[in-house]
Amino acid sequence: MSSIVRETLNTDPVYYDHLKKSAEITVYPRIHMFSLNLSLQNNGLPCGSLGVSIAENPIHITAKKNTITDVLSSNYVGDSTFVNTLEKLRTYKQLTGGWSVTVQIPDTIRPHIGLGTTTQILGGAALCSAKASGVDLTNIDLFKMGFGRASNLGLSLLYKPGFIFEYGYRVDFQNGLGIHPNISTYPELPSNRADSIKDCPWHLLYGVPKKLQSLSGDIEASFWENNLPEDPISAKITENAVKNYIIPGLLANNFQQFISGMSRATDHGSKLAEEHIQEPATLKVLSALRKKLGFAAVSSLGPTVYAFQERLNTKELSKLGTDEYDFFSTPLNQLNRINNG
């Protein structure tokens, strides 16, 4: 499995006069675990984040050239949003015509639940449509089209799915964009740096809400305006957690050291603010996971939650079922096989 765009040749009689190419891609929901440095200061870590693709819930996207833009997406994102995205592509790359786009989405995946699927789906649709027109899109292209402004994790995992540290943005005075004008005057571009975490023997446990949703739109923007930039002291706490606990724990396969670092990285700053906006049902699940497994947190703004198991324990998993959440477990090693697919 991979997020490489694959090309096919469409020989449907409707297109017989010019044999249009089509393209397909598989993208994945993701868990955004925490951000490395949201202080906008150089405190030892760059901006960026730790996150992971969820291989068990692949989203399949195909696109082919058409005279008009036609989207079949199970109303997940909304056809108007797709059309707007593809119009941006048409303008950005100076393309003509439209595309027929099909998106196949697992039933368990819904928008605005902390799995980053809107970026993956719309970004994948843009990549496929561009490839069907004979052009490629880099992550810088997608960034300039409006993707990855709140976080670079989605763009990084679109091109490099798996379990990764990604390193956010870099200042570029010549080509960069002012993506956070209220808090930073520096023009930025994606850093193009991401490190895959390989040979991790543990299991990711995640809970997907059945009905609850997260903040979105203007309300989400207001949340970040009220919580950014973070206090430099908070960024230092995260730096200490990453350098002295999380990375050494990963390198030594020391589960308790890793879990201790994850707890330290997520109990303050914006991550704590994300937890404070959760519904009682989510807080109850977080409390239960922490009691059983020693650590749990929300993905992005929630309400999806995640934790880790040193070894898969199906009995523990079966006890976690609630009326509000479905729980899943997957080996972290499996997630990095996406890149080798």
Q: Mind giving me the DSSP string for 25-82?
A: EEE--EEEEEES--SSS-SSS-S-EEEEE-TTS-EEEEEEEESS-EEE-TTSS-HHHH
Residue 242 has pLDDT above 70, yes or no: yes
Q: What angle do CA 156, 161, 166 make, to 5 degrees?
A: 35
pLDDT of residue 187: 84
Asked which of 18-32, 131-145, 256-270 is least confident by mean pLDDT, the reply is: 18-32
Q: Report pLDDT digits (tens) over 118-174.
A: 889 999 999 999 999 999 999 999 999 999 888 899 999 999 899 999 998 888 888
- The CATH fold assigned to 6-163 is Ribosomal Protein S5; domain 2 (3.30.230)
| Cis amide bond preceding 46, omega within 30 | no
Closest CA to 45 of 298, 235, 270: 235
Residues whose CB is less than 8 angstroms from the CB of residue 298 and which lie 6 or more positions away in sequence, other chains included? 114, 271, 274, 275, 278, 282, 286, 304, 305, 306
Over the range 175-211, which residues count as b (16 or more CB within 10 Å of their CB) and which as e?
ebeebbeeeeeeebbbbeebeebeebebbbbbbbbee
pTM above 0.75, yes or no: yes
**Fold of the domain built from segment(s) 203-340:** Alpha-Beta Plaits (3.30.70)
What residues does CATH 3.30.70.890 cover in the chain? 203-340
Q: Where in the chain is the domain with CATH 3.30.230.10?
A: 6-163
Q: What is the pLDDT of residues 57-115, one digit of tens each?
A: 899 999 999 887 777 765 566 667 888 999 999 999 999 888 999 999 888 888 889 99
